[in-house]
Amino acid sequence: MILLTQAPITVPRAEEPCPPVGGFARLAPLDLFARLDVQGSPGALVRVRVQTSLDGGLTWFDLAVFAFTGAGMLAARLPGTSALAPSALPPLADGQSRDGPFGNRLRATVESTGTWGLGTLVTVLAGAGGPC
């Protein structure tokens, strides 16, 4: 698994992109994992978007959106086998995912509302490629 982000959450933050991780040769299937470890009082919401880019990082679109209202772990498997007709790639709602297309880079964006206890941490991991 590759670390996409590990970000402290204490005060509300607007959606902020984390540095992208690139150089993937193969992303299908793509396993995504997000965990929110809460220390002290929970805030209202932490939302993480995992995104990919097909044009070298100029534009980004959502692959999965994880939303937390307290401590927890969420995962998604995107097999990359669905045929996709030409269509727009709008942002996804909480709890949704899209089975590609996959670019050669990924990033996470993190936003939060409410005040979270000191030491609260969100971690996002991605694992690419399955058995050959």
pLDDT at 132 over 60: no
Residue 94 lies in a domain: no
Q: In the chain, how many domains are there?
A: 1
The pLDDT of residue 131: 53
* Per-residue pLDDT reduced to its tens digit, 3-27: 999 999 999 999 999 999 988 777 7
Domain containing residue 39: 2-24+33-79+105-128
Of residues 112 and 25, which shows the higher confidence score? 112
Residue 40 lies in a domain: yes
pLDDT mean over 97-101: 90
The pLDDT of residue 86: 78
* β-strand pairing of 13-17 with 45-53: unpaired
Residue 74 lies in a domain: yes
CA–CA separation, 88 vs 63, rounded Å? 13
Residue 99 lies in a domain: no
Residue 88 lies in a domain: no
Residue 41 lies in a domain: yes
Residue 87 lies in a domain: no
* Per-residue pLDDT reduced to its tens digit, 45-80: 999 999 999 999 999 999 999 999 999 999 999 998
pLDDT at 43 over 70: yes
Residues in the chain: 132
